[in-house]
C-alpha cells in the first residue's frame, strides 16, 4: 500500500515537471537580438511603438533590457547585449574607443527639462537659463533629487552643475538627495518631497504620479539630449549577432525607422526627434 502510494507520488512529480518543462520549451522561431537601452526609451513607450514595426518587416524579435546608460554600456562591455542604444555621447565614444563597440551612430534627440514643485521655492519657474536656475536651487538650498546612478541623465546633470559653476561634490548639502535609481523612481521621489529634478522630456510626458510637479525650466540649448546606437564589437565578443544587430541599427537610421520615431506622439506631442543624418550629432 505504502509502496504504491509512493510510486503514485513519484509519478505525479515526474509528470508535473514534464508538463512544466514542455511549456518552458522555447518557440521554434528564435531569431532575436538583445538590446541594452536606457529607461527613458522604454518608460516613454517608444519601443512599444518601434519594435512591432521592426519585427513585422524583418522577423527579428528585439529583446530590450532597460538600464541607466552607464549600466547599459557595461552590459555591452560584458557581451550580454548585441546592441546598445543610449544617450551620453562622451561615454558612448569612450565605449567605441575602448574597442567594445564597432561604431556609434546618432539616431534621435529630445531634451531634458528641469522639473520642480509648483510652489517653486527657488523662484526659477519660466526661466530659459538652466545654469542660473541650478545656481539658484543651490543658493536657496531647495530640495533637489539626483539620479546618482551613472545614467545618461545623471551625467547630463553633473555637466550642468559644472556649467552653473557649482562644485556639486563640495557644495552639496542636505538639499541634494542622490537616490541611485532610475528616472521614474527619481520623479516619484521628487513628487513625494516636492523637490527639483532633472528629467528627460519623454519620461516626464509619460509619467503619471506628478502630484505638485511641473516643468520649471525648458528650452535652453544646453538641455539637448542626443541618443546614439552602437553594435557591440564581435571581435571582443564572438557570439554577438552582428548581422541581425546591424539590420536593427540600419533600420533605426533609415528613413523608415526615422519616420517611425517621429510618428511616436503622446497627446499630439512628439517625444523624440530623429536626426540620424545630422552631421556631428
Rule CB under 8 A: choose which of 38, 42, 146, 225 binds another protein: 42
Within 10 Å of residue 79's Cβ, how many Cβ atoms? 16
In the complex, the smallest distance separating the C-beta of residue 245 from another protein, rounded to whole angstroms, is 14
Secondary element (H or E) of residue 37:
strand 32-38
Residues 59-88 that bind another protein (CB under 8 A): 63-66, 78-80
Q: Using alpha carbons, select from 122, 153, 143, 128 the residue that is nearest to residue 227.
A: 153
- For residues 229 and 76, the answer to whether their CB atoms sit within 8 Å is no
- For residues 75 and 69, the answer to whether their CB atoms sit within 8 Å is no
Rule CB under 8 A: choose which of 91, 146, 188, 258 binds another protein: 188
In the complex, the smallest distance separating the C-beta of residue 221 from another protein, rounded to whole angstroms, is 28
25 binds another protein (CB under 8 A): no
> For the chain, how are helix, strand and coil distributed in percent, rounded to 5?
45, 25, 30
**Coil vs helix vs strand at 63:** strand
Rule CB under 8 A: choose which of 24, 56, 169, 269 binds another protein: 24
Angle between helices 242-253 and 46-58 (to 10 degrees): 120
In the complex, the smallest distance separating the C-beta of residue 77 from another protein, rounded to whole angstroms, is 8
40 binds another protein (CB under 8 A): no
210 binds another protein (CB under 8 A): yes
47 binds another protein (CB under 8 A): yes
34 binds another protein (CB under 8 A): yes
- CA–CA gap between residue 130 and residue 127 (Å, rounded): 7
User: Measured from the CB atom, is 4 or 221 closer to another protein?
Assistant: 4
Close Cβ partners of 117 (under 8 Å, ≥ 6 residues apart): 194, 195, 196, 212, 213, 214
269 binds another protein (CB under 8 A): no
By CB under 8 A, name the binding residues for another protein: 2, 5-6, 9, 13, 16-17, 20-21, 23-24, 34, 39, 42-43, 47-48, 63-66, 78-80, 181-185, 187-188, 191, 206-210, 237, 239
Amino acid at each position: 500500500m505504502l509502496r504504491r502510494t509512493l510510486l503514485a507520488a513519484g509519478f505525479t512529480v515526474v509528470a508535473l515537471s514534464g508538463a512544466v518543462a514542455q511549456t518552458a520549451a522555447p518557440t521554434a522561431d528564435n531569431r532575436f537580438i538583445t538590446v541594452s537601452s536606457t529607461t527613458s526609451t522604454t518608460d516613454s513607450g517608444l519601443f512599444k511603438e518601434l519594435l512591432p514595426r521592426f519585427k513585422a518587416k524583418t522577423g527579428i524579435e528585439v529583446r530590450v533590457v532597460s538600464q541607466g546608460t552607464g549600466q547599459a554600456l557595461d552590459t555591452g562591455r560584458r557581451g550580454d547585449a548585441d546592441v546598445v542604444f543610449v544617450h551620453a555621447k562622451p561615454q558612448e565614444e569612450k565605449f567605441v574607443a575602448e574597442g567594445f563597440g564597432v561604431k556609434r551612430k546618432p539616431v534621435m534627440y529630445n531634451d531634458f527639462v528641469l522639473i520642480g514643485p509648483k510652489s517653486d521655492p527657488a523662484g526659477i519657474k519660466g526661466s530659459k537659463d538652466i545654469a542660473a536656475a541650478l545656481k539658484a536651487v543651490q543658493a536657496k538650498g531647495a530640495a533637489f533629487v539626483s539620479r546618482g546612478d551613472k545614467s545618461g541623465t545623471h551625467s547630463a546633470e553633473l555637466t550642468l552643475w559644472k556649467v552653473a559653476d557649482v562644485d556639486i561634490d563640495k557644495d552639496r548639502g542636505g538639499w541634494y538627495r542622490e537616490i541611485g535609481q532610475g528616472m521614474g523612481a527619481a520623479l516619484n521621489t521628487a513628487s513625494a518631497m516636492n523637490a527639483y529634478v532633472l528629467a528627460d522630456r519623454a519620461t516626464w510626458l509619460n509619467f503619471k504620479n506628478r502630484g505638485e510637479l511641473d516643468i520649471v525650466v525648458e528650452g535652453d540649448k544646453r538641455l539637448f539630449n542626443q541618443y546614439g546606437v552602437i553594435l557591440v564589437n564581435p571581435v571582443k565578443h564572438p557570439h554577438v549577432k552582428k548581422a541581425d544587430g546591424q539590420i536593427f541599427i540600419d533600420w533605426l537610421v533609415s528613413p523608415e525607422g526615422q519616420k517611425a520615431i517621429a510618428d511616436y506622439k503622446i497627446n499630439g506631442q512628439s517625444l523624440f526627434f530623429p536626426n540620424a543624418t545630422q552631421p556631428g550629432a
